[in-house]
Structure 1
C-alpha cells in the first residue's frame, strides 16, 4: 500500500507544463521540432499543384496547430479534449496522404509523441500501431510507392522511445524536488516536536522544583526559620536562571542532559518535597551512551512523583542498560504523565529501547531499558532522608 507521504510526492505530468512556463513559452520547445514537417511540405510540392497544393499546405499548418494544442492536454490529464484533437490529427494524416503521398506519414512521428505524452498503459500499443502504419501503408498502396518504409517506421519508434525517456526524466526530477520539499517539511516538523518536547520536560521539571522549594521556604518562614528560608529562595533564584538558560539551549539544540546531573537534581527536589528517596550512589555501571536518555527518564519520573504521586518513598534503580523509578504513591501515574510520558517514549523509541509504565492501586513504576548492551549490573541505592 502506498503511504500518504509517498502519494503526496507522486508527480503529475501537468508539472511539465509549469516547468516549461506559461503562455507561448510552454509551446516553444514542442514547436521547435515541427521543423521536420518540412518533409511533408516538400512532398506536397512534388505531388500536388494549384488548389491541391494549397490544401496540402493548409493541412500541414492545421496539423501543427492541433499538435501544439493537444500536447499540453495530454501530459496534464485533460483527456477528453485531448482525444478529440488526437482523432482530428489522425484524420488529417489520412487526408494528407492525398496531397503529400508517403511524406504525409511524417505526421505519425508527432502522433506517436502525443501517444507517449498521455502516459497511459496502452501507449506502447499505440506506438507500435503507428510504427506499422508508417511502414506498411506505403507498401499496401501502390500509389504511395509500393515499398515498406522501414526507415520512416524506425524514426517513429526511436522518437517515441526518446520522448518516453524524456518524460520519465522530467517526472523523476519533479518527484525528486517534491521529495526534497517533503523532507524539509518533515525536518521542520520534527524540530518543532523536539523543541516542544524539550520545553515540556525542562519547564515541567523546573517549575515543579521551583513550586516545591518556594512552598518549603514559605513553611520555614512561617516557623521562624528565616535563614533556611532565605537559602531555599536563593536556590529558587539560581534554578530560575538555570532554567532560562536551559530553555535557550533547548531552542538552539544545545541542551545537554546527563544522568549524574539529573540524579543530583532529583536528590534535592525530593528532599524539598519531603519524600524519602533511595538513589544510586554511582552511575559508573551504566553505559555512558545511555546517560542522556536515562537523565531524561529520571527528570520526567521524579517530576511526576512530585506532582502526581503523593508518595512517601521513591526508589531509583540503575543497571548497565536500564533505569527504573518506583514509588509508593496513589498510582494512576500512567495516565497522569500525559505529554511527558509521550515525549519520553519517543526518545526511548529513537534509542531502540522499550518503556514500561505500570500502575496499581498503590504505587507507580517507570522502567526504560535499551537492549543490545552488556549484561546489567545493578547499582545499589542509597537512602536520602527528607
Structure 2
C-alpha cells in the first residue's frame, strides 16, 4: 500500500486490500439503516461517515501516489478522523467504534517513525476505553481492537520497509553516479597518458615537415609525413584498446590472451598450465590490476624486447617490511635486449598508478645479469593469515 502500483495486477491487489478493510463499515452502516435514529441523527451520521471516509481515502491515496514528506495537513486530517470516531461513538452508537480501526491504520501509514507506533497504540487504547464506557459487546470490541492494532502496526512496519527501500535505492543511485564519475576521471587520465606523447610527437614532426618543405627537401618531408601517419595510427590503436578494454580485466582471460600474442610473435612462453587457477584472497581490484600488468608486460615483450622466451609466474609471499598479511606478485621476464623499455614510460607510469589504486606496487627494470627485462606487479591478498596454513616465504605458486 505504500508504493504506487506499477501495473494492473498490482492495482487490483491494492484495491482488493482496500476493499477488505471496508468490512468494518458494516457496523456504522447497520446502525444508520436500522431506523433507530431520528432524521437529524441519520443526516448527522451520514455526514460524519462521508467526512471520515474522505479523510481516510485522502491519506491512504497519498501513500498510494507518492511518499511525500510529513506535512501539517496530514496531522489535521488524522485528528479529524479521530474526532469523528469519538463523536459518533458517544453521540450515536458504540457501533461507530469500528472507525477507530481505520484511524489506527491511517496513523500507522502517515505518522513518521517512531510516532506511528505510538499513534497506533494510542488509538487502540482510546478504542478500548470508549468500548468499555459504552458497554460494547466483548467479542466485537476484541475483534475491532485487534483489527485496528494489528493493521496499524503492520502498516507502520510496511512504511518503515518502504522508506528503507527508497533510501537504499537513492544510495545505490548515488554510488552509481560516483562510480561513473570515477570511471570518467580514470578514462580521462588514461587517454591523456596515451595521447599526450603521440600528439606532441605529431606536432613536432609537422613543424619539421613545414621546414623541409620550405627548404625544398621533399624526400625528408615525405619521410616525416610517413612518421606522422605511423604515430597517428598507433595512437588510434591505443585509444581503441583503452576504450574497448576498459572493463576490469580478468587474470585468466589476460593469461589466455598472453599465450596467443606470444605464440603469434614466435616467442616461447614459460608458464605453468594451472597459472590461471583461482587465487584465494585475491580481490577484484587486485585481480584487475594484475590483469593490466600482464597485458602491459606482454605488449612490451612482443613490441620491443626482441626476446625468444617469456617467463610468467605468480609468486605468493609474506608482505615486505614487516607488514601483516600476504602478497601475490606477477612476474614477467624475457631474455631480450631490454633497452627499449628500460626506462619508465607512459605505459609503466599508468600501470604503477593502477597498482597503487589497488594498494599494490610496481617494480620493473633490467634483469640482474643485464640481459632481458623483468616486470613485477605486487598486490595484497585480503585473506587473513592462517597459522596452520601459512605459506613458505618465497614459495612459487605453479
* Range of TM-score over shorter length: 0.5 to 0.7
- Whether 2:24 is the aligned partner of 1:36: answer yes
Which residue does 2:185 correspond to in 1?
A: 193
- Whether 2:81 is the aligned partner of 1:92: answer no
- Whether 2:359 is the aligned partner of 1:352: answer yes
Distance change (3 Å), C-alpha of 1:224 and 1:145: closer
Is the contact between residue 293 and residue 348 of structure 1 (CA under 8 Å) also seen in structure 2?
no
Is the contact between residue 34 and residue 64 of structure 1 (CA under 8 Å) also seen in structure 2?
no
Across the aligned residues of Structure 1 and Structure 2, the Cα RMSD in angstroms comes to 5.2
CA distance in 1, matches of 2:246, 2:352: 21
Task: State the 1:35 CA deviation.
Answer: 5.3
Is the contact between residue 112 and residue 127 of structure 1 (CA under 8 Å) also seen in structure 2?
yes
Is the contact between residue 131 and residue 156 of structure 1 (CA under 8 Å) also seen in structure 2?
yes
Which residue does 1:370 correspond to in 2?
A: 378
- Whether 2:45 is the aligned partner of 1:56: answer yes
Q: Deviations over 1:294-319 (max 9, x none)?
A: 9xxxxxxx9xxxxxxxxxxx964xxx
- Runs (5+) with no aligned partner, structure 2: 248-291, 316-327, 334-339, 364-374, 382-392
When the two structures are aligned, how many residues end up with a matched partner? 299
- Runs (5+) with no aligned partner, structure 1: 1-12, 268-279, 295-301, 303-313, 317-324, 327-336, 357-366, 378-386
Is the contact between residue 73 and residue 82 of structure 1 (CA under 8 Å) also seen in structure 2?
no
Match of 1:259, SS state, is helix
Name the stretch that deviates more: 37-46 or 199-208: 37-46
CA distance in 1, matches of 2:189, 2:330: 18
Is the contact between residue 348 and residue 368 of structure 1 (CA under 8 Å) also seen in structure 2?
no
CA distance in 2, matches of 1:59, 1:139: 23
Which residue does 1:104 correspond to in 2?
A: 96
Distance change (3 Å), C-alpha of 1:225 and 1:77: closer
CA distance in 2, matches of 1:157, 1:125: 11
Q: 1:128 aligns with which of 116, 121, 126?
A: 121
Task: State the 1:53 CA deviation.
Answer: 1.9
- Whether 2:45 is the aligned partner of 1:45: answer no
TM-score by length of 2: 0.56
CA distance in 1, matches of 2:74, 2:51: 15
Match of 1:370, SS state, is strand
Q: Deviations over 1:166-214 (max 9, x none)?
A: 3244335534544554455345434433432221111013234545677
Which residue does 2:258 correspond to in 1?
A: none
Distance change (3 Å), C-alpha of 1:215 and 1:187: same
CA distance in 2, matches of 1:98, 1:163: 27
Is the contact between residue 56 and residue 106 of structure 2 (CA under 8 Å) also seen in structure 1?
yes
> For residues 81-230 of structure 1, what are the structure 2 equivalents within 5 Å?
81-117=73-109, 118-142=111-135, 144=136, 149-175=141-167, 177-179=169-171, 181-182=173-174, 184-210=176-202
CA distance in 2, matches of 1:78, 1:260: 61
CA distance in 1, matches of 2:332, 2:197: 15
Distance change (3 Å), C-alpha of 1:148 and 1:368: same
TM-score by length of 1: 0.58
Q: Deviations over 1:27-52 (max 9, x none)?
A: 97886444532322213334523221
Q: Deviations over 1:86-120 (max 9, x none)?
A: 22221111111135422211111121122112223
Which residue does 1:332 correspond to in 2?
A: none
